Amino acid sequence: MRKIFYACVLAVVMAVPVSAQKPTPGYVTPGTRPAKGLAPNMKVTDLGKGGRTFRVNFIKGDEIMSGLTEFAERYKIRNAHFTAIGATGKGLFGWADPENRTRGQKKIELTEEAEIVSFMGNIGSP
């Protein structure tokens, strides 16, 4: 049985341009974007009630940030907010390290199945 990652995307926008900054070991460089085409099973449903509201479903193996970036580009969404729930089998997460703000986000690698109880954010293009 295939596990499904379900994300109810209220809106989403373009990722920040890639920075020219050199990577620091243990950190994700600011503005890093995932490669395209890493979420081939992504399904988008336009819920079309009121504003622009979409549901975006991912299947096990889809790369979430790659899919969300492609979704935003395809639907020409430039400024928005998103929220999601689901599960993941592996992932690369980050947290803001106030002492090393210029390095980017400190990497946290997850290599086991975990429930995503809160996944939210906003992305804006300049």
Task: Tell me the residue range of the domain where 44 lies.
Answer: 4-25+33-88+114-124
> pLDDT tens-digit profile of 64-111?
989 999 999 999 988 989 999 999 888 888 887 788 777 778 888 989
**Residue 44 included in any domain:** yes
If one compares 2 and 118, the residue with the highest pLDDT of the two is 118
Question: To the nearest whole percent, how much of the chain has pLDDT over 90?
Answer: 33
**Residue 101 included in any domain:** no
Q: Rounded to the nearest 10 degrees, how much is the dihedral formed by the CA atoms of 5, 54, 84, 19?
A: 100
The pLDDT assigned to 38 comes to 94
Alpha-carbon gap, residue 17 to 4, rounded angstroms: 30
**Residue 98 included in any domain:** no
